[in-house]
A and B are shown apart, each in its own frame.
Chain A
Amino acid sequence: MLLEILFGSQTGTAEDVSERFSCMARSAGVQCRVRSLNSIQSMKDLGIYVLFIVSTTGDGEEPENMRQFWRIIMKKSLSSVPSVLSHIHYGLIGLGDSTYPKFNFVAKKLSKRLEQLGAHAICEKVLADEQHPHGIDGCIDQTFTKVFWKTFGDLIGQEFIPHIDQCLPSRYQIEWIDSREKDLSNLQSSINIPKIPTGYTSVPLISNTRVTALDHWQDVRLLEFDTNLSYKCGDVAVILPQCPLPAVHLLAKLLNVEDKLNHQFIASNETSFLSMTVLELFRDYLHITRIPSRSFFEKLVWFSNDERERERLLEFLQPESIDDLYAYCHRPRRTSVEVLQDFPLTTSSIPFNYVFDIFSPIRPRSFSIASSPKTHQSRIQLLVAVVRYKTIIALYREGLCSNYLSRLEPGENILMRIAPSFNLIDDDRPALMIGPGTGVAPFRGWILERSFNNQLLNMLFFGCRYRTKDAFIENDLLNDKINLIYIPAYSRDQEDKIYVQHKIIEYGHLVWEWIAHKQARVYLAGNAKQVPEQIADALKTVFIKDGNMTNEQADAYLREMERTKQFQRETWS
């Protein structure tokens, strides 16, 4: 009997939850297999007992590593075989954030579809919410975990009692490469060659310039890289960041491997093999500054031999004290290394190979490219808002990738690859762009390119807080050579907050003229939380006021625009 744990994870959260349930399963003697949903090639691959763990990302979309699966399970032809999955018993965990309009849409849709296709739910699904005071794990444990294991056990005729303090075998075995044994020159060359993951290129930085005023709290940078990587406007640069060195050294100290920082090792198991130095492991491979999930604490219990530390860890893991755990760790955004720092005795007993079990790999981050290959030969430019803020913890909380980029000096190299993202259609139709904040990035390069090609009709609605502090786009786009109708919204330059949606309505007659009579294509780039809804509302208001439509007609018109790709949006969460 095998429990298939299948996840769709964009930022690693769903993967974490899978890992946690896998540990629970294994500690109770249940065989299980954890894979991403894209490993499923056909319905036959699903097995009989399945635990689905799926996130919702972007604007109600499924994560990339389940996109292929989505196309398989949502295939029209399956609908005509309603009992095709009637042999399957499944649990479903949905991960989402209720501040977004399409809360847990992926889990909801999957649930309905599974029902349609005859699969049997082991127990009621859970739609976990980041906004729950105890976050995702809190939600799941409150309504799902116990019920799932109990009912699953009943189904199989076995009693499942997960043991949280049972140490499970480590993911990898470690072998140290002794420099005396191997040929020294071989070793030297393998240490000196930078390890570049497949698909990535090492790209040097040319300049790193702050484009917001120094007295403004937000730090936005324009970064310029020297590269011949081919791209088009609308593409994103996918970047692999590094962890900050102070954290790397702190971790090495806590694990007593400071003297091994430059030692090479091989980590291997039945299916894979890695080789690098300890420094590279902590800096380039593992996300050691990630905010730990619940399972991080559960695994620390495996190694804690000091009474006080062990007691505190077990306390934190009690269901009644879950709020304490969240107040300690998640709300102040305490990093994994900082937690280990508070539990030094436990940490020093962690065998080195278990670092692969308690930390997860660094995930790449995407940034819209803000330049154009036509106007910026051999260059890629990015606009990056640096995420840095304070909580009760003395040291600033810093976004991993934005801060990594902010620290870069000219001449330093980063790992980058290009991926398609926004489909900016290159034709003669006018372009009406809406890009508040750093959302404007893809439009910056595109407007320059369109001016270069003499495509005359470009309109940009840009929003920021203060004209003098963060209207960073104006330097680049406001000059005689650029064909642009520029309509800014400075939200805090007056008593009333004015945002791009207000400007769209204010200039409704112009917007309507462009959309209805000039067949302008409308593009929106911004944060998925509220921007898309507000802009959709603003556009519909224009259709009603300037296009003389009723509510229903305006709705239909906007939907038709989306269907024919006359309105496209790129939003991120």
Chain B
Amino acid sequence: MNEIFAHAKSILVVWVDDVDSEILATFQETLQNKAQQAHIAFENVQKLFESQRGTSSCDIILFDLVSKNDAPTNLDLLNEFFRLLHPNGYLITHVEHLKQKQTIDHFKMCGFSSCNPLDANSSFLIGNKTDDVKRHGSLWLCQKPSFDIGYSVPLRKTGISLIRQVSTTGGAKRVWTLEGDDDDDDDGIIDTDNLLDDNDRGKPDVKSYTCGTTSSGVRKACKNCSCGLAEELEQEEHTQAQQNIKSSCGNCYLGDAFRCAGCPSRGLPPFKPGERIILPTVSDV
């Protein structure tokens, strides 16, 4: 924890409601001690979206640590924090235990890849919280992923709109900006799934296939049958074959291409007239 602050160059403290300017000043001092290299900025959450701060401009964002109670987060807010953070940057906020599950999910949905509760050593951050609040919640540290799996890859259209749909606050300003298209990139192909509409996703009705002749919905085993259907069908065929003993066409000695359906030699290779081949039907391999 100390290391994170020691190395930070830019910290944004986002505060909620009316907070005494004295308290803010004290908090700033404490912070500056821990983060000697950092420039520390303060912003009220109501003004945050209007301010349109620069993308990837903060190393650490502290949300609502200064007030006594815990303000809930929402997806729009988290998305904005995500945008503002550098890759590998950190978001720290205090989360009520009751809201923990949902909040962590929101962190994930917005792309924070590493979310962990913090231990008591970070208590300098929540000095202003009431004891009750501290008891019923925990400090959480979330990290924005690094370059290659995170934000810098242009998001697909579908990805953005899905997150927006789940947003709980209407009328929020656009929080995502695509940082230019990577047209000259090797990876610049369209999302081919967008080429398909609902009709395309449907499958043909197999029963509607006309075949002209006598095919009758035969149960067919797959080429690499691994469920046992092939074995079942084998048994059926075997019993059927045993029941056909009379030849009706006299072409038994020719191959299956010339034999009739009831031929007792069906399944055997051609042989010389008069001769019979006994083939092992059950191989001992």
Contacts and interface: CB of A to CB of B under 8 A. Distances in A.
Interface of A: 70-71, 74-77, 79, 98-99, 101, 103, 105, 108-109, 112-113, 116, 127, 129, 131-134, 138-139, 142, 217-218, 308, 312, 316, 319-324, 326-328, 331, 333-334, 338-339, 341-344, 385, 387, 389-396, 399, 406-407, 437, 516-517, 519, 527, 547-549, 552-553, 555-557, 559-560, 563-565
Given A74-B189, A77-B183, A320-B212, A391 B237 contact: yes
B2 interface: no
A492 B48 CA distance: 59
A541 to B, nearest CB: 16
A467 B204 CA distance: 38
B97 to A, nearest CB: 14
Q: Which 3 A-B pairs have the closest CB atoms?
A: A342-B255, A389-B230, A390-B234
Nearest to B186: A71
A108 B196 contact: yes
A516 B113 CA distance: 10
B47 interface: no
Interface string B45-57: 0000000000000
Nearest to B156: A563
A74 B190 contact: yes
Contacts of A392: 237, 241, 266-267
B149 A565 contact: yes
12 contacts: A71-B189, A76-B190, A316-B257, A327-B215, A331-B220, A333-B223, A385-B224, A387-B225, A390-B230, A393-B256, A394-B281, A395-B279
A331 B104 contact: no
A113 B256 contact: no
Contacts of B111: 560, 564
B220 A552 contact: no
A547 B234 contact: no
A343 B255 CA distance: 8
A559 B162 contact: yes
B105 A76 contact: no
Given A112-B195, A218-B226, A556 B257 contact: no
B190 A399 contact: no
Given A323-B212, A342-B270, A105 B231 contact: no
Interface string B113-124: 111000000000
B21 interface: no
Contacts of B238: 390
A110 B128 CA distance: 61
B165 interface: yes
Contacts of B105: 516, 547-549, 557
Interface string B3-35: 000000000000000000000000000000000
B273 interface: no
Given A132-B211, A341-B269, A519-B114, 20 more contacts: A74-B190, A108-B195, A116-B195, A320-B213, A322-B211, A324-B213, A333-B223, A334-B256, A338-B269, A342-B254, A342-B255, A389-B221, A389-B230, A390-B237, A391-B230, A517-B104, A556-B109, A560-B109, A560-B111, A563-B159
Contacts of B228: 217
A101 B270 CA distance: 42
Interface in B190-227: 190, 192, 195-196, 200, 203-204, 206, 209-215, 218, 220-226
Contacts of B222: 99
B279 A394 contact: yes
**Most chain B CB within a 10 A radius of its CB, from A134, A394, A399:** A394
A77 B165 CA distance: 29
A382 to B, nearest CB: 16
Nearest to B255: A342
Contact of B109 (A319, A320, A391, A557): A557
B42 interface: no
> Among the interface residues B196, B203, B213, B268, which one has the most CB atoms of the partner chain A within 10 A?
B203
Contacts of A138: 211
Contacts of B188: 75-77
A519 B149 CA distance: 14
Interface in B151-173: 156, 158-159, 162-163, 165-166
A321 B113 contact: no
A80 B113 CA distance: 35
Interface string B262-285: 000011111000000001010101
Given A98-B204, A134-B211, A556-B162, A394 B267 contact: yes
B68 interface: no
Contacts of A343: 255, 257
Nearest to A491: B227
Contact of B258 (A308, A338, A552): A308
Nearest to B163: A556
Nearest to A80: B183
A312 B104 CA distance: 71
Contacts of B233: 390-391
Contacts of B113: 519, 564
Contact of A437 (B114, B213, B226, B270): B226
A155 to B, nearest CB: 26
Nearest to A76: B188
A407 B285 contact: yes
Contacts of A393: 256, 267
A217 B231 contact: yes
Contacts of B204: 98, 103, 127, 129
B101 interface: yes
A548 B163 contact: no
B111 to A, nearest CB: 8
Contact of A112 (B108, B196, B224): B196
Given A331-B218, A387-B225, A565-B149, A342 B102 contact: no
A116 B104 CA distance: 42
A538 to B, nearest CB: 19
Nearest to A390: B234
B132 interface: no
B131 interface: no
B243 to A, nearest CB: 13
B101 to A, nearest CB: 6
Nearest to B211: A133
Contacts of A116: 195
Contacts of B158: 559
Contacts of A103: 203-204
Given A320-B212, A339-B257, A342-B258, A385 B162 contact: no
